Structure 1
């Protein structure tokens, strides 16, 4: 039996989103133990030209929901990018998870060859559904997820590989 587009996307994204949620909890606990406001971490970044932590998490969410919606052929839910706290980031992740969980595997049938067009201010990118998932979604999703992890780790949050990978599937 071959791997379906649903299996190659939604469970993978859900697993990583669950791990990211747990990582956010660890950041808040760390801040409490060290007696500083966790919100200072929201604007932390690895380099001046990189997005801050809060935007990294928003992009992880956007990439996941965009993937699910485009491959399922439904409208992408719009989130305002107005989060200002870890609690609000957790709510955003929960909304993303809820959206993905509401998608049915049958909605992904044939999405491997569906044309996916992404329009950016200075370019338009066109993919087959399979190429979109493999060469755009997954690399971007994991880039921003890893960067969010790295920002927290760099700022002393006690995270390890197990936090990133999580347990089981």
Structure 2
């Protein structure tokens, strides 16, 4: 059976967001049990010029919803980057997953050659939808999910590789 654009996008983004939720919930439970202020985690970053944990989650959310929307030729919902708490971040992930659940397979499958243009700091980048998904959207999404994981590990949260990967 051949892989489809839908199979390579919606379920992959959804699963990654689910694992991000797990990472947040596990680290929040640890923080509460050890008198660690969760706000210190939300605002944590690996380096001064990097996004905070909140920023990493916002970008992962954006990568998932915009990735699928651009391939499907639909408009993604707009979520202002105003999350300040764990609950806010979990709600952002849930809203993103809810959007992904509404995207019909027929809107995504067969769109491999759709033209996708994105604006970057360096200017516009032009892709086919397939190349956009495989060379930009998925790597960008997993960069931010991984960086969120790294921020939490850096702050001493007891999460590991299997928390990131999830049930196999």
Is this a same-fold pair by TM over 0.5? yes
Q: 1:121 deviation in Å?
A: 4.7
Q: How does 1:77-116 map to 2 (within 5 A)?
A: 77-116=77-116
> What residue is the counterpart of 1:163 in the other structure?
163
Moved over 6 A (4+): none
Unpaired runs of 5+ residues, structure 1, are none
Distance 2:109 2:139 in 1: 23
Q: How does 1:19-168 map to 2 (within 5 A)?
A: 19-168=19-168
Q: 1:137 deviation in Å?
A: 0.6
Q: 1:155 deviation in Å?
A: 0.6
RMSD of aligned alpha carbons: 1.0
Q: 1:122 deviation in Å?
A: 4.0
Distance 1:109 1:4 in 2: 6
Distance 1:44 1:107 in 2: 38
Distance 2:24 2:73 in 1: 31
- SS state of the match for residue 81, structure 1? coil
**Count of residues paired in the alignment:** 168
Deviations 1:37-91 (A, max 9, x none): 1111111111111111110000000000001111111102100110110001111
Q: 1:109 deviation in Å?
A: 2.9
TM-score (ref. length: structure 1): 0.96
Unpaired runs of 5+ residues, structure 2, are none
Distance 1:97 1:21 in 2: 11
Distance 2:105 2:56 in 1: 28
